[in-house]
């Protein structure tokens, strides 16, 4: 039996009439960590939004299977409840809504979907406190409005906190390392590493090989102009760090 969590074939997508993904293939198995790198504007975030089901991202070709079933026919929230989690490149601020309240509502929506009992306030608080220790976040963040006034690094930590509470099957982490100082990078990387599991797949979008020193990926892919143009193991990241992306384009032309 295949252990595939995600299988993308010939995916094409456009935003506002502009083609961005142009026939993308990717397969991710349970237990794996895949890193996606690539130049600015190549379509990395677009890929994560298409997978998460953001409105306005129109799939014009190809297919996406998630745990063997068609992902694209599910609503955004259905995908989330089925275990697809996106750590946003730019986490959204929601004034007036407590961080802890969103998190509890999210967890309970997902538990309800799975037919599990909803957690009450006390059960939830003890769960979330443990996770906050892992992320070395102060409890005061619970009662602040979602991402409002959080520093860039705090927002990224908060995303991983949410991931650790929601325990997704497929985690898409879009530049979770950017904007983090050195200590925070270690904390976030530790958090993510602790969330590696045999039945979970993680797709990391990153620009820096640095993150991959902490979170060792099984595969590294280069996304360029809407396609995966090269895949390899961790050494590819080192090569990219040294050589940049231009050589890939040349390689693609000469091939």
Ligand X SMILES: Nc1ncnc2c1ncn2[C@@H]1O[C@H](COP(=O)(O)OP(=O)(O)OP(=O)(O)O)[C@@H](O)[C@H]1O
180 close to 215: Cβ distance less than 8 angstroms = no
Cα–Cα distance measured from residue 62 to residue 68, given in angstroms and rounded to the nearest whole number: 15
The answer to the question of residue 19 lying near another protein (CB under 8 A) is: no
Closer to ligand X at the Cβ: 49 or 200?
49
Question: With CB cut-offs between 5 and 8 Å by kind, which of ligand X, Mg ion, another protein, none does residue 43 bind?
Answer: ligand X
Classify 35 as helix, strand or coil.
strand
Cα end-to-end distance, the chain, whole Å = 35
The answer to whether 176 contacts Mg ion (rule: CB under 5 A) is no
Q: Check if the beta carbon of residue 35 is closer than 8 Å to that of residue 51.
A: no
Distance from C-alpha of 255 to C-alpha of 247, rounded to nearest angstrom: 12
- Is 55 one of the binding residues for ligand X (CB under 6 A)? no
- Residues 66, 85, 150, 219: which binds another protein (CB under 8 A)? 85
Is 124 an interacting residue with respect to another protein (CB under 8 A)? yes
Which residue, 146 or 222, has its beta carbon nearer to another protein? 146
Nearer to another protein, 139 or 213 (CB): 139
Work out the angle between the directed axes of helices 182-194 and 152-166 (0-180°, nearest 10).
10
The nearer residue to another protein, 11 or 146, going by C-beta atoms, is 146
State yes or no: residue 45 binds Mg ion (CB under 5 A).
Answer: yes
Site string for ligand X, 59-98 (x = CB under 6 A): ------------------------------x---------
Structure-token match 């079933």, residue found: 69
Q: Which is nearer to Mg ion, 39 or 153 (CB)?
A: 39
Please answer whether residues 239 and 211 qualify as being in contact, where contact means their C-beta atoms are separated by less than 8 angstroms.
Answer: no
Cβ partners under 8 Å of residue 70, min gap 6: 63, 64
Tokens of residue 247, six digits: 């050589």
C-alpha to C-alpha distance for 53 and 138, rounded to whole angstroms: 32
Which positions touch ligand X (CB under 6 A)? 15-16, 18, 20, 38, 40-46, 89
* Residues lying near another protein in the complex (CB under 8 A): 52-56, 75-77, 80-81, 85-86, 88, 91-98, 100-107, 109-110, 113, 121, 124-125, 142-143, 145-146, 162, 166
């Amino acid at each position: 039996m295949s252990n595939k969590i995600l299988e993308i074939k010939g995916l094409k997508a456009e935003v506002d009439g502009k083609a961005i993904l142009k026939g993308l293939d990717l397969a991710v198995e349970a237990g794996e960590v895949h890193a996606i790198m690539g130049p600015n504007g190549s379509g990395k975030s677009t890929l994560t939004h298409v997978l998460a089901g953001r409105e306005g991202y129109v799939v014009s070709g190809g297919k996406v299977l998630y745990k063997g079933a068609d992902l694209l026919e599910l609503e955004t929230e259905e995908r989330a409840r089925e275990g697809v989690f996106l750590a946003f490149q730019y986490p959204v601020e929601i004034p007036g809504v407590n961080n802890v309240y969103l998190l509890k509502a999210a967890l309970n929506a997902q538990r309800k979907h799975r037919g599990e009992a909803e957690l009450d306030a006390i059960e939830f608080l003890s769960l979330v406190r443990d996770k906050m220790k892992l992320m070395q976040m102060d409890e005061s963040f619970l009662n602040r409005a979602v991402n409002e006034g959080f520093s860039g690094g705090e927002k990224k930590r908060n995303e991983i906190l949410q991931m650790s509470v929601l325990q997704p099957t497929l985690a898409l982490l879009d530049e979770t390392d950017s904007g983090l100082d050195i200590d925070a990078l270690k904390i976030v990387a530790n958090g993510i590493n602790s969330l590696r599991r045999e039945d979970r797949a993680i797709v990391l979008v990153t620009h820096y090989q640095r993150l991959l020193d902490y979170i060792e990926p099984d595969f590294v892919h280069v996304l360029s102009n809407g396609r995966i143009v090269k895949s390899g193991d961790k050494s590819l990241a080192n090569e990219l760090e040294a050589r940049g992306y231009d050589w890939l384009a040349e390689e693609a032309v000469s091939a």
